[in-house]
Amino acid sequence: MTHAEARLVLTEKLQERYGLGEAKSIVKIVFEDAFDNGRAFEEAQFEAISKRLVAGEPLQYVLGFADFFGLKFKVNPAVLIPRQETEELVDWVIQYLKSAHFSQAPNLLDIGLGSGCIGISILKKFPGLQLYGIEKSEAALAVAKENADLILKTTRQLATFWAGDILDASQWAAFPSFEVIVSNPPYIPYRESHLVPEHVQAYEPGLALFVEDADPLVFYRAIADFSLERLSEGGCLFFECNEFNAPEVASLLSQKGFSPVELRKDLMGAERMVLAHRP
């Protein structure tokens, strides 16, 4: 099979699931990243990749990495695939860090590391900080540490990652204080699972996606309380939110005394990010 024939075959196989436009985009990435534009094409590898893609497995898991904020992060089914809207959250945090005036290197905590894409991207673009991260899943924590080693390299010593559950308040006393806390916690109630694409439900970790219907703000509430204890005076808390409850998150933070609290829309016009200042 020639390179051109292989591209056509894979596009036809993926078109039914994704539509022609997205199928072409997936095939383009496959041949750019897996086969170096055809110069290293191997038919056996092509068949293995095709089988996984046709079954609905996300491209990033098949290739083993995802592009995020100009960096390549290793990913597997233990971690969520980084999203474009999360890049907007990272950019907002970096804008804040560059505009703030710190008397010493600020401490930043990434709660719910996953692949580490948020904290690692921030440290890569703003090396004058000390990065900390907490992750409940041991498998996800291993991915985050690997990405830190691969991406941070000479600044790896500025990143400290822990295994832990932010919902367990008994662990909070062990943390240092932070100037910035950022989190993209689980925020999709199970009742809204029908809105989640089939391939996301089938392959991405539910632990990082879903929360119980009875208390969809459980992580936001816990992280807000944690921040009242561990966020320095005047420090900032950044959240990514479910577009359907972002105003509720902002209201929760205001009720707990954070001020000012700012909601921000993503590029699609959905309210997806919150910034709250600790008084």
158 has pLDDT over 70: yes
Residue-wise pLDDT tens digits, 173-216: 999 999 999 999 999 999 999 999 888 999 999 999 999 999 99
Q: What is the pLDDT of residue 37?
A: 55
Q: What is the pLDDT of residue 40?
A: 66
Q: What is the pLDDT of residue 35?
A: 82
Residue-wise pLDDT tens digits, 72-114: 999 999 999 999 999 999 999 999 999 998 989 999 999 999 9
As a residue count, the chain comes to 279
Query: What would the two tokens of residue 65 be?
Result: 């990495």
Q: What is the pLDDT of residue 43?
A: 87
Q: Tell me the one-letter amino acid at 110.
A: D
Residue 275 is given by DSSP the state: E
Q: Are 261 and 276 in contact (CB under 8 A)?
A: yes
Contacting residues for 152 by C-beta, under 8 A, at least 6 apart? 120, 123, 124, 158, 159
CA atoms within 13 A on the CB side of 245: 19
Gap between the Cα atoms of 2 and 125, Å rounded: 41
Query: What would the two tokens of residue 35 be?
Result: 């086969």
Paired sense of beta strands 71-74 and 210-211, if any: unpaired
Gap between the Cα atoms of 271 and 257, Å rounded: 21
Q: Which residue has the higher pLDDT, 155 or 229?
A: 229
Residue-wise pLDDT tens digits, 51-66: 999 999 999 999 999 9
Residue-wise pLDDT tens digits, 3-60: 889 999 999 999 998 899 999 999 999 988 888 755 567 889 999 999 999 999 999 9
Q: pTM (2 decimals)?
A: 0.94
194, exposed or middle or buried, with CB in 10 Å at 0-12, 13-18, 19+?
exposed
Q: What is the pLDDT of residue 38?
A: 53
Q: What is the pLDDT of residue 211?
A: 95
